[in-house]
Amino acid sequence: MPRPERSYRTPAIILKRFDLGEADRLLTILTPQYGKLEAVAKGARKLTSHKTGHVELFTRADMLLNRGRELDVVNQCEMTAAYLPLREDLMRGAYANYCAEMLDRFTSSGEDDGAARLFKLFDETLARLCAETDPRLVVRYYELHLLDIVGYRPELARCVIGGETIQAEDQYFSNAEGGVVCPKDAVRGTATTQISMRALKVLRHLQRGGYPQALIVPPELHEEVERVQQGYITYLLERRLKSVDFIRRVR
């Protein structure tokens, strides 16, 4: 949805912030209608700023923004969720940071495709990162659903080479093909990693629907799930960055 001509009100989560000049801050925010945006919070670094004082990282706020020629300007900012543990607990903060960075790298500013789903997912993830005892499962769930929204949903039910239904046995995962490959079709050494049936079941469970509150994953299985997902994400980001580089060079 294009932003209104003059000013608009929106919920927003602060993904990134940079100091700008003496008193201002440049924010990267996520909104449910307009996707990811950059905006300036004027005077945000002054202690006396009441209007835009609450521009802490990973908070949710209701914002009133004015359309600028280059950058929009935050006119009012009222915090609606503080997510305090993300700034008080180093580990929870580190996971939130990772989630924000992943979102930042898989999206472009002003892209509103799937913005509402993305906002909901990110907001719920921050809340879970504050509350859950094991943040790793929160992050794995987030990764899978973010990939789905940005168009890289991994195929976990059928072999991505032969198309046949995956049998209950250990399998392979192809980063290049974006999904599971059966042992028969697996070509070793071409970005294909092994994945146990148990790990595949965890992935499917996470991909299928709502957040699995009651799921308990043993540590070694957790490591395997993380290794497979990280391999896929790293592969996608490198390809994405290369494609961005390529477009720049062509220009």
What span, in angstroms and rounded, lies between the C-alpha atoms of 78 and 87?
Answer: 18
Q: What amino acid is encoded at 204 in this protein?
A: R
CA 94 → CA 36, 91, 101, 103, 168, distances in Å?
A: 21, 5, 10, 14, 36
Residue nearer to Zn ion on the CB measure, 10 or 175: 175
Residue nearer to Zn ion on the CB measure, 189 or 210: 189
Give me the least distance between CB of 172 and Zn ion, in Å please: 9
Give me the least distance between CB of 148 and Zn ion, in Å please: 22
Are 52 and 59 in contact by the 8 Å Cβ rule? The answer is no
User: Is residue 166 helix, strand or coil?
Assistant: coil
Largest CA distance in the chain: 67
Residue nearer to Zn ion on the CB measure, 123 or 185: 185
Residue nearer to Zn ion on the CB measure, 162 or 218: 162
Give me the least distance between CB of 161 and Zn ion, in Å please: 5
Residue nearer to Zn ion on the CB measure, 74 or 161: 161
The site string for Zn ion over 152-191 (x = CB under 5 A, - otherwise) reads -------x-xx-------------------x--x------
CA 192 → CA 135, 170, 177, 202, 222, distances in Å?
A: 27, 13, 9, 19, 19
Residue nearer to Zn ion on the CB measure, 80 or 194: 194
Give me the least distance between CB of 220 and Zn ion, in Å please: 27
Q: Which residues of 28-40 are buried (b: 16+ CB within 10 A; e: fewer)?
A: bbbbbebbbbebb
Give me the least distance between CB of 153 and Zn ion, in Å please: 19
What span, in angstroms and rounded, lies between the C-alpha atoms of 195 and 60?
Answer: 37
The site string for Zn ion over 113-152 (x = CB under 5 A, - otherwise) reads ----------------------------------------
Give me the least distance between CB of 91 and Zn ion, in Å please: 40
Residues that bind Zn ion (CB under 5 A): 159, 161-162, 182, 185
